[in-house]
Copies of this chain bind each other. A is one copy, B any other.
Amino acid sequence: MVVSKFKIIALVAWLVVSFLGAGSLALAGPHPGLTMSAQEVVAMRSQLHTVPKAKQAFDDLQVKTDTSIELGVIVPKPVDAGGGYTHEQHKRNYQLMLDAGLLYQLSGKKRYANYVRDVLLAYAELYPTLPLHPKQKEQSPGKLFWQSLNEAVWLVHTIQAYDLVVGALTEAERNLIESSLLRPVANFLSEGQPDTFNKIHNHGTWAAAAVGMTGYVLDDQHLVDQALFGLDKSGKAGFIAQIEQLFSPDGYYTEGPYYQRYALMPFVLFARAIEVNEPQRAIFEASDGAILKAIETAVQLSYNGLFFGINDAIKDKGIDTIELVHGIAIAFEVTGDTQLLDIAKQQNHILLTGYGFSVAKALHEGRDTPFDFRSLQLRDGQDGQQGALSIFRHGQGSKHQALVVKNTSQGMGHGHFDKLHWLYFDNGNEIISDYGAARFLNIEAKYGGHYLPENNAWAKQTVAHNTVVVDEQSHFNGDWRVGQQHAPNIRFFAAQDGIQITSAEIAAAYPTTTLRRTMAMLELEGLTHPLILDVFKVNSVRAHQYDLPLHYQGQLISHTLKLQGAKQALSPLGEQHGYQYLWDRARAAFPAGLAQLTWLNDGRFYTYSTVGGTDQQMLFAMLGANDPQFNLRDQHALIHRVNSAHDHVFVSVLETHGEYNGRAEYTVGAQSNVVGLAVRELDKYTEVTINLVNGHQATLLYTEQGDENTQHQLDSAGGQVQWQGHFVVLKSQSKQSEQ
């Protein structure tokens, strides 16, 4: 799926702004007409039975909703903080009203509308009596909830429910609900909290969506304009500015995919409402199609259904989260791109909205085509100048290889101190990993379900990532506000046949020290899977200790290092910056030449080949020290340590190979094919040589200097080499095997 190819197709829905009469649901005005049109309702009522899965979803929703309705109207006085009873009950109410509203439209059964009416009337009675919430959060408190963010989410849902049932209400009911509830909440979220409403931030997006959607339903253009252009309607704030500023030109949200998913919800719902009510705004084309781009990018930021676990991420979130279910369906309605159906199929979640039904119908008709997970560079920052996330892929389907190189900016308060970090996925699994967030979401016993203290103390620290730590201190000394001011410079990026490569550097992570990393996915003859090549250069004016951790997933099988035997007692590796959580399980000296470690994960072998010197050691670390609450997961890491140096070049190759099948009792390809690895710096050029057991040799020559048009020339043992651009790969084969 390429965003620039999106064809914006006309929606019939918005042409019917004064649609009258829908069978027994005849309405006086253009309702429903917010995220779902009356015409869509008519179509769904006649076609629902032709799409078995949608019919099933409808039947299921009726059963579930009937059960909830039987409990009666429950609108308690707000008392509890997030997670508490009244908090959860008000959340249940908005979802229930929305479900009942949909059922009313689809079934014509008056009792659903009556239930929504009764709940709304109860709120209309309660709301005017409410002061600020008793457990209010310091910033932006709400009334129904402890923070106004929840109040905005409540209104986004409730106004959709109101739109669905308003045709069944008397004028007196409508007046009461609108004047005592909907307008007051909308005013509270806009004029009542100007700072939040005008903020270019996720909270501001929710507030804008809530206020603007209310404006459409109440036919109040003033509210709509404030939502779109800020309180003063100048355009400096509001939804349009948010679309422009919150995502990078490549649709990347700076906090990473976990929060990108969350941030998307108000964008897609409000945009859908704008499309239905003011199609002339062509909202999905705004800012170079930013919303559609962000939806596609969220999907690209995943592997085997789960988001890359960078920054503060709960790692079981993926493309089937509710935000992307709405996002994909709304994007499909706009673009008709059948690749989106592939994602919808994996989501396996049918929405009973107009756009949800379009997807269900298209899937029933088998119109889905494979989603193109591809290699790409996602620039970070509003202007695309704050570093980038590079994704390199090889193969197709849930078991393909993916290398993720995180050369992004800090990512604000949810960012981790992991400049030039990387992850690797293969065979459906995370092989070189990111810990993600230290948090058990919604598990009260684990620090109330909040981010654990170990999130700051371990998960965010540099040593928890696959990048260099200088003198056992995190990047930017662990201060995200400092980190926020510096992003890596991307030197080059290329995704070509046979080689995919990127290079970046940052000089600000440590004082007077420059980090430069070049990573490549390299295909070589005789190998089933591409190699992952890593060259990490550290240069400093002073001598330091350099640690390069590798957080691998799997069972260690063998290695060629000189291990110093089993320890009779374990102690932590350090005292701060995350090192206090690692047990110093074993240490090893490097052999002369190649050092190799092989592990097994889910029936496949992975061999990490590197070279080290006598001034270096390999540490075998294990997570879990200083963790009396058992808050951390079991994890193992290798740490390649250079004891003291001004400059150092780490070089390594990761090979994916072989198969272990315990069921059928066979093992093939358990040995790595890599038999040689060397790196040399030749003036401004870097030369990496890899030798395979089959006699093939590959040499990568690259330079961080110049650009893609620069001409280069170098004399080497094999003669003179000339090339254009940052890199070239030379291949040769010896007549005999090198083993």
Q: Which residue of B lies closest to A566 (CB)?
A: B628
- In the bound assembly, the distance between CA atoms of A533 and B663 in angstroms comes to 34
Contact with B along A50-73 (1 / 0, CB 8 A): 000000000000000000000000
Contact with B along A320-335 (1 / 0, CB 8 A): 1110000000000000
Closest Cβ–Cβ distance, residue A418 to chain B (whole Å): 22
Q: Determine if A557 and B628 form an interchain contact, defined as CB atoms under 8 angstroms apart.
A: no
Q: Does A626 contact B (CB under 8 A)?
A: yes
A566: B residues at CB distance < 8 A: 625-628
A317: B residues at CB distance < 8 A: 662-663
Known pairs A570-B583, A583-B570, A630-B556; A442 contacts B565 (CB<8 A): no
Q: Does A682 contact B (CB under 8 A)?
A: no
A5: B residues at CB distance < 8 A: none
Besides A315-B662, A569-B571, A570-B583, 15 more A-B contacts (Cβ < 8 Å) are A440-B660, A441-B665, A442-B667, A443-B557, A443-B667, A446-B558, A555-B633, A556-B630, A557-B630, A563-B628, A566-B625, A566-B626, A620-B630, A622-B624, A634-B634
- In the bound assembly, the distance between CA atoms of A555 and B315 in angstroms comes to 15
Of the residues B445, B558, B565, B660, contact of A557 by C-beta under 8 Å: B445
- In the bound assembly, the distance between CA atoms of A664 and B324 in angstroms comes to 12
- In the bound assembly, the distance between CA atoms of A224 and B389 in angstroms comes to 71
Interface SS majority for chain A: loop
Q: Determine if A558 and B634 form an interchain contact, defined as CB atoms under 8 angstroms apart.
A: no
Q: Does A314 contact B (CB under 8 A)?
A: yes
Of the residues B570, B625, B663, contact of A321 by C-beta under 8 Å: B663
Q: Would you mind naming 17 contact pairs between A and B with Cβ atoms under 8 Å apart?
A: A315-B662, A316-B663, A441-B665, A442-B666, A442-B667, A443-B660, A443-B667, A444-B670, A445-B558, A446-B557, A446-B558, A557-B630, A566-B627, A569-B571, A570-B571, A622-B624, A634-B634
A569: B residues at CB distance < 8 A: 569-571
A318: B residues at CB distance < 8 A: 663
A314: B residues at CB distance < 8 A: 662
Q: Determine if B628 and A586 form an interchain contact, defined as CB atoms under 8 angstroms apart.
A: yes
Q: Determine if A670 and B445 form an interchain contact, defined as CB atoms under 8 angstroms apart.
A: yes
A555: B residues at CB distance < 8 A: 630, 633
Q: Does A192 contact B (CB under 8 A)?
A: no
Q: Does A598 contact B (CB under 8 A)?
A: yes
Of the residues B442, B563, B565, B665, contact of A665 by C-beta under 8 Å: B442
- Chain A stretch 458-487: residues in CB contact (< 8 A) with chain B: none
- In the bound assembly, the distance between CA atoms of A614 and B187 in angstroms comes to 62
- In the bound assembly, the distance between CA atoms of A583 and B568 in angstroms comes to 10
Using CB atoms and an 8 Å cutoff, list the residues of chain A in contact with chain B. Answer: 314-318, 320-322, 440-446, 449, 555-558, 563, 565-566, 568-572, 583, 585-586, 598, 600, 620, 622, 624-628, 630, 633-634, 660, 662-667, 670
Of the residues B557, B624, B662, contact of A441 by C-beta under 8 Å: B662
Q: Determine if A568 and B572 form an interchain contact, defined as CB atoms under 8 angstroms apart.
A: yes
Closest Cβ–Cβ distance, residue A71 to chain B (whole Å): 16
Q: Determine if B320 and A442 form an interchain contact, defined as CB atoms under 8 angstroms apart.
A: no
- In the bound assembly, the distance between CA atoms of A666 and B444 in angstroms comes to 11
Q: Which residue of B lies closest to A322 (CB)?
A: B664
A557: B residues at CB distance < 8 A: 440, 443, 445-446, 630
Q: Which residue of B lies closest to A632 (CB)?
A: B555
- In the bound assembly, the distance between CA atoms of A660 and B531 in angstroms comes to 38
A660: B residues at CB distance < 8 A: 440, 442-443
- In the bound assembly, the distance between CA atoms of A660 and B666 in angstroms comes to 37
- In the bound assembly, the distance between CA atoms of A570 and B317 in angstroms comes to 35
- In the bound assembly, the distance between CA atoms of A561 and B624 in angstroms comes to 19
Q: Determine if B571 and A316 form an interchain contact, defined as CB atoms under 8 angstroms apart.
A: no
- In the bound assembly, the distance between CA atoms of A737 and B349 in angstroms comes to 39
- In the bound assembly, the distance between CA atoms of A555 and B542 in angstroms comes to 43
- In the bound assembly, the distance between CA atoms of A626 and B566 in angstroms comes to 5
A316: B residues at CB distance < 8 A: 662-663
Closest Cβ–Cβ distance, residue A354 to chain B (whole Å): 23
A443: B residues at CB distance < 8 A: 557, 600, 660, 667, 670
- In the bound assembly, the distance between CA atoms of A568 and B628 in angstroms comes to 11
Closest Cβ–Cβ distance, residue A110 to chain B (whole Å): 31
Closest Cβ–Cβ distance, residue A149 to chain B (whole Å): 15
- In the bound assembly, the distance between CA atoms of A626 and B565 in angstroms comes to 9
- In the bound assembly, the distance between CA atoms of A581 and B665 in angstroms comes to 28
- In the bound assembly, the distance between CA atoms of A629 and B245 in angstroms comes to 53
Closest Cβ–Cβ distance, residue A317 to chain B (whole Å): 6
Q: Which residue of B lies closest to A446 (CB)?
A: B557
A633: B residues at CB distance < 8 A: 555
- In the bound assembly, the distance between CA atoms of A568 and B660 in angstroms comes to 38
Known pairs A570-B583, A571-B569, A660-B443; A449 contacts B667 (CB<8 A): yes
- In the bound assembly, the distance between CA atoms of A558 and B446 in angstroms comes to 7
- In the bound assembly, the distance between CA atoms of A633 and B667 in angstroms comes to 19
A585: B residues at CB distance < 8 A: 624
Closest Cβ–Cβ distance, residue A430 to chain B (whole Å): 15
Closest Cβ–Cβ distance, residue A595 to chain B (whole Å): 15
- In the bound assembly, the distance between CA atoms of A658 and B572 in angstroms comes to 35
Q: Which residue of B lies closest to A583 (CB)?
A: B570
A446: B residues at CB distance < 8 A: 557-558
- In the bound assembly, the distance between CA atoms of A566 and B457 in angstroms comes to 16
A626: B residues at CB distance < 8 A: 566, 568
Closest Cβ–Cβ distance, residue A389 to chain B (whole Å): 23
A315: B residues at CB distance < 8 A: 662
- In the bound assembly, the distance between CA atoms of A565 and B445 in angstroms comes to 18
- In the bound assembly, the distance between CA atoms of A576 and B583 in angstroms comes to 23
Interface centre among A320, A443, A449, A634 (most CB of B within 10 A): A443
Q: Which residue of B lies closest to A597 (CB)?
A: B630
Closest Cβ–Cβ distance, residue A648 to chain B (whole Å): 27
A667: B residues at CB distance < 8 A: 441-444, 449
- In the bound assembly, the distance between CA atoms of A569 and B555 in angstroms comes to 24
